[in-house]
Structure 1
Amino acid sequence: MKFERRLLLRERGSGVFEKLWQIPWVFVLLLCAVAGVGYVALYSAGGGSPDPYAGRHAIRFGFGLVMMLSIALVDIRLIARFAWVGYAMGVGLLVLVALHGQVGKGAQRWIDIGPVQLQPSELMKIMLVVALASWFHKASWERIGNPLFLIPPIIAVLVPAAMIFKQPNLGTSLITLMIGGAVFFAAGVRLWKFALVVGAVAIVAPIVYENLHDYQRARITTFLDPESDPLGAGYNIIQSKIALGSGGFWGKGFLQGTQGHLNFLPEKQTDFIFTMLAEEFGLVGGLSVLGLLACVIAFGFLVALRSRHQFGRLLAVGLATNYFLYVFVNIAMVTGSIPVGGVPLPLISHGGSAMITVMIGFGLLMSAHVHRDAEMGAERDET
């Protein structure tokens, strides 16, 4: 019966009501639960008040939810058709940032669009995934094995990564490269080519390190030895570890976290929001939050497995990888496993750009789910 219903939907062109029926509402509730965790954490970060963080978080999520559901109803063939238009717009926004962007904390990463302050590098990652999925869709195994065929998508990855690195934003630039790599891998690019890239990175890494900004080199040095500068570059990670340890197994209780509420914990509403949650709700609370985030990521890869067309598969893999890297980098950063890089925890941290762009990504992911049986033409070219 399920297959017959899907076939009927294809024949009818999948109207709005039929598409609404196909929306994974359990996943929508899961996102609401994660955003709810964010509201609780930001309420605590605001000193037990919805202002200035939690109230804005709820409004942004509500707006993002409407936008996500609207994108989910858009025909995935239309998304594929305009993939490179979106990519060009993303690059255009990065150029606009370079020319007229707002400077904050030594970096030029934001532009003002009306009342909204947008960080185009976040949106660019989404547009890059869509463009790469469009490029590799219908490409045969033999064609993907042709190095010349890979030159345009490699350039498509390197251009925004270089522009983001220039802002400077090393963390997001590296994440952009890794997202591109995930789509390349899912598309069937040979492993020996990845080995060549890894070798090239190993050769170039010392040169890149010498050209990093002073604060970026300090983050790496601090990661290796935080106690070398406990009141300077090492302060953030030391305080984060203290907060994580002080939470214990069950936590100190809601609004009872000392590191956060006595302002020892830096950027508690953004980069270090997970640390504050772990202090107040302990190991149990921290693992519960990680469980919710793991379910969100797992849904993305499940969509990839269930899609009957290559575009949907690659789109889902790229978007799921994007969210996974957000979570992985943020958690690894606050636990001292990698250098501090200024990556938020989407749907939980305070911040409009990450929230809106992630919800756009989830909208595209849900469109891939709703249209998983769509006819996208011949699956792979023979040339």
Structure 2
Amino acid sequence: MPWTTLSRLLNRYPVRPPDSGMSRRKSLWQSLHLDPWLLALLLALVGAGLLVLYSASGKHTDMVVGQALRFVVAFGIMAALAQFPPATFYRWAPLAYGLGVVMLIAVELVGDIGMGAQRWLEIPGVVRFQPSEMMKLATPLMVSAYLSRTGLPPRLPHLFVAAVLIGLPVVLIAMQPDLGTSLLVTSSALIVVLLAGLSWRLIGFFLLLAGAALPLLWINLQNYQRQRVLTFLNPESDPLGSGWNIIQSTTAIGSGGLQGKGWFEGTQSQLEFLPERHTDFIVAVLGEEFGLIGMIALLALYFVIVCRGLWLAAGVQDTFGRLMAGSVILTFFIYVFVNVGMVSGILPVVGVPLPLISYGGTSSVTLLAGFGILMSVHAHRRLLPR
């Protein structure tokens, strides 16, 4: 489906006021600017994630409680952001983007090093976080704000400015190095550009340009990043080294069969053959313990969340809100697709967590903050007259 068509679909079904002229009292959810269906679906996903995390962590109660507390904070931020009108996010976009870029530069200068990468900033005794996670939201927010005031569809000069806005944080994140996050930031911002009504001719041109740049990208990859690509093509070439992760994850998923081995009964995960089982590869734990049925149930839940998000985005009439809402929910879909794809062996391993299931605080806060913005632009949408 052309992206221009998808852009029109997000604006196809306006939400109309009721026929009666009588005023209708707002419900509690309308007063709170929250969508109860989307909220219920997100809570169900978080609950399922905590159950899987309890098994994946080896019944580590402190880890599960810590993750639950992070979710409480993240849902609080989501609810708070939903109260602000979209005009506020429009005004905040340059500030959030600029602050994020400054923090990425600070990471390069004084950031903490962990697992061979320099990705974290630490406020001693307060918090340790990844500024790159913030850019997953700040970059599409900035691009949405810029394109919404240039007129759509965007012309080449506007696309050049958008490319600069996207490229600056992406380069800084790639230098950490963090290929997975840089790709996610790129995809979230590119979705905004595509939803802005980019023509197929320009899409084809940029795809050819990206293809021509692949050799340059390969030259500038770190050695371990190149090895990940080679391992994806042939994981059996180094089964005890670089191919270990993907071999163990596919083995775990396959051994679960239809119904799974049962909660806490997974051999690959409980005997610690499966690496990063509480973070990037947590879906392999679910597949082993709950089988194909569990995997389908989880993917169905993600699918319904994405459908609900698109339905909410379809009611947004202003350009900035529509671009931002579409970016939030389609980026969420890309997160799921990339993580499940890499764990099942159909995509290279790039270190992308499974949304609201994998262990981690900064990623969860960023995702739910995005859903808060989505609820805000839907709740404050302009009603079209008949």
Report the Cα offset of residue 191 of structure 1: 2.2
1:114-133 correspondence to structure 2 within 5 Å: 114-133=125-144
- Equivalent residue for 2:112? 102
Report the Cα offset of residue 115 of structure 1: 3.1
Aligned: 1:304 with 2:313: yes
Mean CA deviation greater in 20-29 or 262-271: 20-29
Provide the rounded CA distance (Å) in 2 between the counterparts of 1:161 and 1:119: 14
- Equivalent residue for 2:94? 84
Mean CA deviation greater in 95-104 or 254-263: 95-104
- Equivalent residue for 2:164? 155
Aligned: 1:320 with 2:334: no
Provide the rounded CA distance (Å) in 2 between the counterparts of 1:324 and 1:7: 40
Report the Cα offset of residue 300 of structure 1: 2.2
Structure 2 residue corresponding to 1:112, chosen from 122, 147, 151: 122
Q: Which residues of structure 1 form unaligned runs of 5+?
A: 376-383
Provide the rounded CA distance (Å) in 1 between the counterparts of 2:144 and 2:176: 26
Provide the rounded CA distance (Å) in 2 between the counterparts of 1:268 and 1:87: 33
Is the partner of 1:36 in helix, strand or coil? helix
Aligned: 1:339 with 2:353: no
Does structure 2 retain, via aligned residues, the 8 Å contact 1:145–1:190?
A: no
| Cα pair distance change 1:21/1:108, threshold 3 Å | closer
Provide the rounded CA distance (Å) in 2 between the counterparts of 1:85 and 1:295: 33
Counterpart AA for 2:59: G
- Equivalent residue for 1:379? none
Report the Cα offset of residue 50 of structure 1: 1.8
| Cα pair distance change 1:296/1:207, threshold 3 Å | same
Provide the rounded CA distance (Å) in 2 between the counterparts of 1:120 and 1:7: 49
Report the Cα offset of residue 210 of structure 1: 1.9
Provide the rounded CA distance (Å) in 2 between the counterparts of 1:121 and 1:190: 30
Is the partner of 1:82 in helix, strand or coil? helix
Counterpart AA for 1:68: M
Aligned: 1:40 with 2:51: yes
Report the Cα offset of residue 345 of structure 1: 0.8
Counterpart AA for 2:17: F
Aligned: 1:61 with 2:71: yes
Mean CA deviation greater in 326-335 or 316-325: 316-325
Mean CA deviation greater in 324-333 or 199-208: 199-208
Does structure 2 retain, via aligned residues, the 8 Å contact 1:257–1:280?
A: yes
Does structure 1 retain, via aligned residues, the 8 Å contact 2:286–2:295?
A: yes
| Cα pair distance change 1:259/1:6, threshold 3 Å | farther
1:17-36 correspondence to structure 2 within 5 Å: 19-20=30-31, 22-36=33-47
Provide the rounded CA distance (Å) in 2 between the counterparts of 1:74 and 1:7: 27
Provide the rounded CA distance (Å) in 2 between the counterparts of 1:6 and 1:274: 49
Report the Cα offset of residue 100 of structure 1: 1.3
Aligned: 1:135 with 2:146: yes
- Equivalent residue for 1:3? 17
Q: Which residues of structure 2 form unaligned runs of 5+?
A: 1-14
Report the Cα offset of residue 360 of structure 1: 1.1
Is the partner of 1:121 in helix, strand or coil? helix
The RMSD of aligned alpha carbons is: 2.4
Provide the rounded CA distance (Å) in 1 between the counterparts of 2:98 and 2:240: 44
Q: How many residues end up aligned between the 2 structures?
A: 369
- Equivalent residue for 2:236? 227
| Cα pair distance change 1:316/1:342, threshold 3 Å | same
Is the partner of 1:255 in helix, strand or coil? coil
Aligned: 1:286 with 2:295: yes
> TM-score, normalising length from structure 1?
0.91
Provide the rounded CA distance (Å) in 1 between the counterparts of 2:59 and 2:117: 31
Is the partner of 2:274 in helix, strand or coil? coil
Is the partner of 2:118 in helix, strand or coil? strand
Does structure 2 retain, via aligned residues, the 8 Å contact 1:20–1:73?
A: no
Structure 1 residue corresponding to 2:266, chosen from 257, 279, 285: 257
Provide the rounded CA distance (Å) in 2 between the counterparts of 1:185 and 1:339: 24
Counterpart AA for 1:244: I
Report the Cα offset of residue 4 of structure 1: 4.7
